[in-house]
A = this chain, B = another copy of it.
Amino acid sequence: MATGDGHGAPVHRARRDPEGRRRAIVEAAAELIVEEGPGDLTHRRVAERARVPLGATTYYFSSLEELREAALQRLADRIDEELRGIAEELAAADGDPAVLAEALHACLADRGQVRADAALYFAAIRRPALRSLALRWFDGLTEILSAHTDPDAARAVAVFSDGATVHAVLHDEPLDVAALTHTITTLMRRGTSRSRSEGRTG
């Protein structure tokens, strides 16, 4: 029943920057997820990493799960940026598979990025609400490639890229560029004979 005898009168000297604080907390959580996996997130670790008091982590997020989702959201947003870059490069190169392979290799060489992907995948397995987040890369890549090859080939490449992510995370380094190039080229060429000739105007 908690007769309400009070919890004390904490002295606190706080920076007054809610936005920044929230951001710092999410950022810290995202880092921890990349480092330790989505399941090992705790308020305490986040607070410590973000250099905020424990209470702040519960003040800004009504549950740990909410915080986790915000952090995964952030990781997914980074994937979107990545994708935008790839889309531009690829458009500039008129869908050249080698360019995609290079870009993919760069992504896969970034361990943080790869682990972030893995964390998203894993977190989404038992959290259907996160599926769309986890599929950002796959769906985004498929869409980008659809401008340069047929949908089935696009999907095949996207599937392959997820496999390459698993490969990178388990080997601590990505497949070599040549292998990526070869496979991606093979898969993209497959259904492109026609659409490719359309694109070739230069």
Partner-B contacts on A (CB < 8 A): 1-4, 6, 36-41, 63-65, 68, 115, 118, 121-122, 124-126, 131, 134-135, 138, 152, 155-156, 158-167, 169-170, 175-176, 178-179, 181-183, 185-187, 190, 195, 198-202
Q: Is the CB of A38 within 8 A of B1?
A: yes
Given contacts A131-B170, A134-B170, A152-B182, 20 further A-B contacts (CB under 8 A): A1-B37, A3-B37, A3-B126, A4-B39, A121-B166, A121-B169, A156-B160, A156-B179, A156-B182, A158-B163, A159-B163, A159-B164, A159-B166, A161-B163, A162-B163, A165-B166, A178-B202, A182-B201, A183-B199, A186-B187
In the docked arrangement, what's the CA distance between A125 and B124, Å? 17
Nearest-neighbor residue (CB-CB) of A115 within chain B: B125
> Which of A162, A169, A185 has the largest count of B CB atoms less than 10 A from its CB?
A162
Tell me whether A2 and B39 are in contact (CB under 8 A): yes
